[in-house]
Amino acid sequence: MKDKNNATTSLLKRILLNCSAQAKQYGSCVSARVPEVEKDMCLKEFVVLKNCMQNVVWLVHISYSEGRSTWFDLSGVITDNLKKVNLHKMTGELSSSALSCSSGSNALSHVYIQYPPLRCNVPGSRSLFYDDSNKLILSLTPTQVFSWKIATYNPYAAPSSDRISEGPVLSIRYSLDLKLLAIQRSSQEIQIWNKDTGDTFSQKCRSESESILGFFWTDCPTCEIVFVKTRSVTCTNLLPGTLTRIEALFKAICDCSGLDMYTYGTESRNLQLVQTKKLSISWYIYTHESRLVLLASGMQCKSFTGFQLSSAGIIRLPKFEMVMAKPEANSNPILAAEDVHIITVYGRIYCLQFDKVAMLLRSYRFYRDAVVQQGSLPAYSDRIAVSVVDNVLLVHQAEAKVVIVYDIYADSQVPISAPLPLCLRGYSRANVAASHTSTKTSEASESKNLSDTEETTYGDQWQFLVPDLVLDVSNGSLWKISMDLEASSGISASSSEVQLILEFLQRRKLDAEKAKQLSLAIVRTIILERKPVPMVARAMDVLLAAYSQAIKTGSYYKRSITEEISPSNAPNAAVGETITGIDVSRSINQEPESVTRNDSSKRSIMDGSIEKTETGDLLEPGLLGGEDLPTGHSQTLGPTNNQLNSSASQRNQSQVTSSAATSPADFYNYVFSPTVEEMMGDGSYLTAIIVDFLRSCSLEKLKVYPNTYVLLVQILARDERYAELGLFIINKIIEPSKEVALQLLDSGRQNQQIRKLGQDILRQLSLHHDYILLLVQDGYYLEALRYARKNKVTTVRPSLFLEAAYVSKDPQHLAAVLRFFSDFIPGFKSSPDHNTYHRFVAELNS
């Protein structure tokens, strides 16, 4: 803990050039009180230092102290001094809707948390940890660690527990196969406990000067656990430094800071050092989702080195610098770990850096061989948190208490909709209003009792976990952030760009069925509203292109996944893409991801290893879609998954439509056939729409659902546009099929030519039986007979021909038909038909 603090203080070193005196005062204040670190403890000194640094905001992460874990948020102190941004005004306007939202009504909000949360507090719990590799929430009591699996979020999940020995815990993580538990006991020591054997083993630093910043488990083939170390610097070293002294210091840091990679020997039961990467490290961030560790260094902590430690191996990213605005010429703000977020969207890895001076959230995209700055998003709050829900980026403006939603698929910096508050759903209490007053005041008076205000959104106790969780550390409740697609698309549907909304919806994987229904509903609506044809056409283009893409990648088909996969271990080798390469691996990489993130209500989970209790709650019948499941398309996941089988912790047997793609059949069922009934009078508009639909289909080389053609024939025939109908058939705009032929015959009762077209289709499709029946019906029995003989059709009863010939009152023809059957059908002469019609011939002749 002391070392950790020191490490943080070493950040301070970088601004000593500017504010050395003030920094020294503050540093000595803090170091004097270590390890009893508390909030606001060196406030006076800090304010002085802060003034010196010209509103530079930084956060010092101090490790968990007794009783509760804290993010020691210094910025909270200086909030008042910071410039007020526009959004603060907006907050006022939104507060009313925030109220209604929290009261549980279906308010205008696209992002919500569902009540109840997962309660992670156990009696005697000291602190909460998040193990993002295994998606576990860990709650520590002095002798036990309780873990909740949150890969499939279930608020009623029961924890499992493991015994641990007593002692300080700085950090705790299970290995990926959950067999080992690593606990950081101090900045010098990490303890590893083998669950199976019960062995404990401690790994200590080689020298006193080393200090472990943290560690993480990895599925990298060469190593299992990685320690991030830095040179420990004590505050006493921080004399009003000269430059040479600092340089010497850095040299020392470089000597022993860096990454240590170990494997765990099952026989030797200890860690073996595999590889060391020597780097200067001030602090680091790691997310298991991206397998990316970012190491900050430099005076302002804005020089970064990154490693991706995935199952594909270790990739070293090129060193890059983040951009930071300077408040003044001589002051250099320091970037803190809390201001940098690694996010994974659409299988791409981005890094978001909060520049508090410029009030911008700068984004960088990682490629295998480059890091490219992508632009920036505005920030309206001094506290920014970031979540990713279903590949949508949520930027929480914590002070303004609103969320801004971005879909950075096409590198667009435009939010999907206006900032709206985070909504708490399913929660109702009599004293809503009362609690809201406390909500408002809680910000000002931070000592407010939080136990009563668990619906306090964006309280200081909120800790945002990767990717979409919020942990309220004060009362141990874990919330899952969800998106309301209906609301977000509803809000944006009012805007003119239907196309963009549909693209957005089509990219949704989490609630794909909903997204699909919404997409179709939007198209239906714009057709019913008789929006211009080009606009509808564009909308359909979007949906069909997405469908065709989904077909190609195979994500459209419902999959029956029986392989064991570990959701958190889903390989995510997004950094593997090069800047020049096409992102082909994306969809494949994402598949397991999308499976794991799917709504628990849509899947049945059978938990194989740890928590048998969970299955009872969650076992539900699989999702039933209306689509045909082509055989041979049951998805087999790639070899990368297979190699993870040993470490798998979950067995998924799920049937998932992981794509919001809308098939041409869906278009028929949900768009065309309902609208046709409502728009009887507007045949030409509907024709135009369907033609454009056909154009989209042919562009994407999709097969059109035959009933769509039937519908088109009906519309054209109803409006008596026979010439056009004929043209459509002849140019094969309406592709021939039996359904179309029968509809043409039906519509052709009023128009002989249309009927003929239907007949032609029957003939061309070699539907001989129907064709002959039709000819006989129309009285062309001789032609029918000829045709029957040529194509060897024997399924039509002779009596039909005979009857038709008899009706024509032509004894010669009747005799000819009779003769035909006598000659070509053995035994016909003795049949009753023969006798009957033989008599008729005689009658007609007489």
Partner 1 sequence: MGLTSESDAKEAMKLCMFDLRRGQTEGQELDKILFFYPADLPITNQLSVIGLSEGLITFTRIFSPDAPCEVIEAEKHCHVFYEVEADIWMVMVVEKENPESIWRVDALRSVLKEIHSLFVMFHGYIRALVDKEPSGGLVRSHLYYFIMDFLSDFSIGKKLQLPNFRDSLKEQGTLQMLTVGREAAIEVQSLVTLLESCVGNKQCYSMTMFQDLLVSTNLSPIDTLNLFTYAVLRLTPIALFRGASAWSSLRKTDTACSTYAGALQVTSISAIDQYYNSHDPPSLRRHNYPLVRPLQHSKWSKGKDGFLTTDIWGTEVNSLLPMCPTIWLHLTEEKMFLLAYQHRGLTVILLVPVSSVSGDQGISMLKQQIIENASLKMLKVEEKLSRGWGGENAYHVSGYRYLLVDGDRYVSRASPPGKVTTLTKESLVALSKLREEVDLEKARAKWDNSGREKDIEICIRAKNNSWLIARLVRGKELYMVLEKGSETLLFAADATEKFSERYCNGAFSLD
Q: Which residues bind partner 1 (CB under 8 A)?
A: 532-534, 537, 684, 687-688, 691-692, 694-695, 698, 721, 723-724, 726-728, 731-733, 735, 752-753, 756, 760, 763-764, 779, 783, 786-787, 789-790
Query: Distance between CA 600 and CA 472 in Å, rounded?
Result: 22
126 versus 695: smaller Cβ distance to partner 1: 695
- Taking the complex as a whole, the smallest distance from the CB of residue 532 to partner 1 amounts, in Å, to 6
Q: Which two tokens stand for residue 622?
A: 């699989």
Spell 158-186 as b/e; 16+ CB within 10 A means b: ebbeeebeeebbbbbbbbbbbebbbbbbb
116 versus 532: smaller Cβ distance to partner 1: 532
- Taking the complex as a whole, the smallest distance from the CB of residue 810 to partner 1 amounts, in Å, to 11
CB 104 within 8 A of CB 96: no
CB neighbourhood size of 621 (10 A): 8
- Taking the complex as a whole, the smallest distance from the CB of residue 641 to partner 1 amounts, in Å, to 40
48 versus 733: smaller Cβ distance to partner 1: 733
- Taking the complex as a whole, the smallest distance from the CB of residue 667 to partner 1 amounts, in Å, to 16
Amino acid at 497: E
Helix or strand (DSSP H, E) at 189? strand 189-194
Burial of 19 (0-12, 13-18, 19+ CB in 10 A): buried
Q: Is the dihedral of CA 184, 186, 190, 193 positive or negative?
A: negative
List CB contacts of 811: < 8 A, sequence separation 6 or more: 841, 844, 845
- Taking the complex as a whole, the smallest distance from the CB of residue 486 to partner 1 amounts, in Å, to 31
Place of tokens 């472990």: 212
- Taking the complex as a whole, the smallest distance from the CB of residue 543 to partner 1 amounts, in Å, to 17
Q: Which two tokens stand for residue 361?
A: 């959230």
- Taking the complex as a whole, the smallest distance from the CB of residue 546 to partner 1 amounts, in Å, to 20
245 versus 789: smaller Cβ distance to partner 1: 789
Q: What is the DSSP string of 493-518?
A: HTSS-HHHHHHHHHT--TTHHHHHHH
CB 432 within 8 A of CB 102: yes
Query: Distance between CA 486 and CA 479 in Å, rounded?
Result: 21
Q: Which two tokens stand for residue 633?
A: 């398309």
627 versus 735: smaller Cβ distance to partner 1: 735
197 versus 684: smaller Cβ distance to partner 1: 684
199 versus 783: smaller Cβ distance to partner 1: 783
CB 282 within 8 A of CB 10: yes
425 versus 695: smaller Cβ distance to partner 1: 695
326 versus 756: smaller Cβ distance to partner 1: 756
Q: Which two tokens stand for residue 427?
A: 């929660």
Q: Which two tokens stand for residue 209?
A: 């000067």
409 versus 787: smaller Cβ distance to partner 1: 787
CB neighbourhood size of 55 (10 A): 17
Q: Which two tokens stand for residue 616?
A: 């009872």
How crowded is the C-beta side of 815, counted as CA atoms within 13 Å? 8
- Taking the complex as a whole, the smallest distance from the CB of residue 678 to partner 1 amounts, in Å, to 18
752 versus 835: smaller Cβ distance to partner 1: 752
Q: Tell which residue, 111, 211, 202, has the closest CA to residue 418.
A: 111
C-alpha distances in Å from residue 480, one per residue of 419, 484, 652, 700, 716 = 19, 13, 21, 38, 52
- Sequence length of the chain is 846
68 versus 786: smaller Cβ distance to partner 1: 786
- Taking the complex as a whole, the smallest distance from the CB of residue 766 to partner 1 amounts, in Å, to 10
- Taking the complex as a whole, the smallest distance from the CB of residue 757 to partner 1 amounts, in Å, to 9
List CB contacts of 63: < 8 A, sequence separation 6 or more: 1, 4, 5, 170, 171
447 versus 731: smaller Cβ distance to partner 1: 731
| Phi, psi for residue 189 in degrees, rounded to 5 | -135, 135
Q: Tell which residue, 567, 584, 573, has the closest CA to residue 652.
A: 567
- Taking the complex as a whole, the smallest distance from the CB of residue 737 to partner 1 amounts, in Å, to 14
- Taking the complex as a whole, the smallest distance from the CB of residue 829 to partner 1 amounts, in Å, to 24
611 versus 682: smaller Cβ distance to partner 1: 682
- Taking the complex as a whole, the smallest distance from the CB of residue 695 to partner 1 amounts, in Å, to 4
Spell 457-494 as b/e; 16+ CB within 10 A means b: bbbbbbbbbbbbbbbbbbbbbbbbbbbbbbbbbbbbbe
Q: Tell which residue, 191, 188, 187, has the closest CA to residue 166.
A: 191
Q: Tell which residue, 764, 673, 752, has the closest CA to residue 717.
A: 752
83 versus 732: smaller Cβ distance to partner 1: 732
- Taking the complex as a whole, the smallest distance from the CB of residue 809 to partner 1 amounts, in Å, to 12
- Taking the complex as a whole, the smallest distance from the CB of residue 419 to partner 1 amounts, in Å, to 36
Amino acid at 456: T
- Taking the complex as a whole, the smallest distance from the CB of residue 689 to partner 1 amounts, in Å, to 8
284 versus 685: smaller Cβ distance to partner 1: 685
789 versus 839: smaller Cβ distance to partner 1: 789
Query: Distance between CA 314 and CA 307 in Å, rounded?
Result: 7
533 versus 825: smaller Cβ distance to partner 1: 533
- Taking the complex as a whole, the smallest distance from the CB of residue 539 to partner 1 amounts, in Å, to 14
CB 365 within 8 A of CB 343: no
Geometric angle at alpha carbon 447, from 444 and 453, rounded to 5°:
85
Query: Distance between CA 90 and CA 380 in Å, rounded?
Result: 10
- Taking the complex as a whole, the smallest distance from the CB of residue 684 to partner 1 amounts, in Å, to 7
Using DSSP's 3-state secondary structure scheme, residue 279 falls into coil
